[in-house]
Structure 1
Amino acid sequence: MRDLNIKNKDLVKATGASKGTVSQWIHGGNQPSAKYVSALALALEVNEQWLLKGGLIEHKKEIQTPFRTIKRIPLLSLQQAGEWSDIMDNQLTYVNTWINTADDVPRFAFAVEVEGDSMVQNGSGPSLSEGSIVIIDPELPVTSGLIVAAKLKGTDKITIKKLVIDGPNIYLVPLNQNYKSIQIDNLKSIIGVCIRLQINLV
């Protein structure tokens, strides 16, 4: 903040958080929740990884101003996400919660909060812990190996799993080996592709 001559009020404007919340962050009384991480990283011209883990600061030189690349996207419940294709054009009517993120997300992108531990794995690779926020692109082409959001038969909620296509067989595979894979009939149940993960800090 000193290097960029950023004041508390600038972070309030960039993130949409209250003055009290920003003050808590600055004075170490609290850490920002996941919905503010992208906006903070952009405002401070650093990457999200540095905000999460610290270390050597590497400024994002391509950013011209702290507030230029913020985009607001809807944070949906898993049930709302299952109905997203029906409400995309009227999202302002149906959505109560929004998060800030970089503006390179697609126009109909939305976010959901991960529930459970079926997508938590040990070792390298992505791991989606409970409470993490996943950004989903409903228009990206679906291919094997991607992490997707899918609506299963007999449920009004979505599940997040890795898509594996093995010949004529299609599976939704959890990263946690304690859970079983789910075979699906076709790709019509895929709601979208998970394109970004934001980690909850609290």
Structure 2
Amino acid sequence: MDIGQIIRNARKAKKLSLEELAHQVESDSGNLSRLERGLQSTTPEKLKQIMSVLGIKLSPQQDAGMSNVQMALQPSREPKEYPLISWVVAGEWAESSDTFHPGDADDWIASTENAGEHGFWLTVRGDSMTCAGNPSFPEGSRILVMPEADLISGKYYVVKLLDSGESTFKQYIEDAGLKYLRPLNPSYRTIPINGECKFIGRVIDSKMTGL
């Protein structure tokens, strides 16, 4: 079993969410998710901190191989550039992928995440996804969208609301058979959904701007 799977099993055993573990080890839930899946490395110091919080104790043989953990977790992966498009274009893509042409975009932003053949970036509008916790997506930050992604409760999605025709960025939640779009900013209301929306894609990476 690799170290990512060991971390995941230990976190589940302690009934910790990725967000809760990220808070305790001062990390990002996205980074931890990729670490668990073997898609990202981390520093030996951070790895020891995670293991300490989760109470992970390795056998002598496993411990002897810890110096090679980073190499084993992440083979090198070249960044790929995806187009930065407008929310209007993103909403039109929800109707038909044939209308979406990445080559039409003027700006391209690189990411090591795989958003698929038609992945694209959007600029976050407003402060509904801004919060004091982690993650937070302030206005002006960039989000990478992977179209046609599976729906997973707790993940973040760009969604087109069919009644208004507007597109929005929210956290998707399933609870007791009900489905919601939840903002991270508590000043905004949670939106119940029952089929009157179109999921454009899942947000799999983000970048801050203006730092």
TM-score, normalised via structure 1 length? 0.60
1:200 paired residue number: 209
Give the whole-Å Cα distance in 1 for the aligned partners of 2:196 and 2:161: 11
Matched, 1:130 2:139: yes
- Partner Cα distance (1:90, 1:118) in 2: 26
Contact 1:69 1:103 in 2 (8 A): no
**Counterpart amino acid of 2:82?**
I
Name the one with the larger helix percent: 2
State the Cα deviation string for residues 120-179 of structure 1 (Å, max 9, x = none): 1113x2100011100011122111111111001233431110111123321100000000
- Structure 2 partner of 1:176: 185
Q: Is 1:78 aligned with 2:87?
A: yes
Alignment pair present for 1:108 and 2:143: no
Kindly indicate whether the alpha-carbon contact (under 8 Å) linking 1:110 and 1:136 is maintained by their aligned counterparts in 2. yes
| 1:1-202 alignment runs, 5 A limit | 69-85=78-94, 86-87=96-97, 91-92=101-102, 94-102=104-112, 104-123=114-133, 125-186=134-195, 189-202=198-211
1:22-73 Cα shifts (integer Å, max 9, x gaps): xxxxxxxxxxxxxxxxxxxxxxxxx9xxxxxxxxxxxx97676xxx723221
How far apart, in 1, do the equivalents of 2:126 and 2:148 lie? 26
When residues 186 and 167 of structure 1 are mapped into structure 2, their CA distance, relative to the original with a 3 A threshold, is farther
* Aligned partner of residue 188 in structure 2, secondary structure: coil
Distance in 1 (CA, whole Å) between partners of 2:183 and 2:151 is 17
Structure 1: segments with no counterpart, 5+ residues: 1-46, 48-59
Unaligned runs of 5+ in 2: 1-39, 41-69
Percent of aligned pairs sharing the same letter: 31
Distance 1:103 1:181, change over 3 A: closer
Q: Distance in 1 between matches of 2:115 and 2:152?
A: 19
Shift in Å at residue 83 of structure 1?
1.5
CA 1:187–1:72 in structure 2 vs 1: closer, same or farther (change >3 Å)? farther
**Residue-pair matches, total:** 141
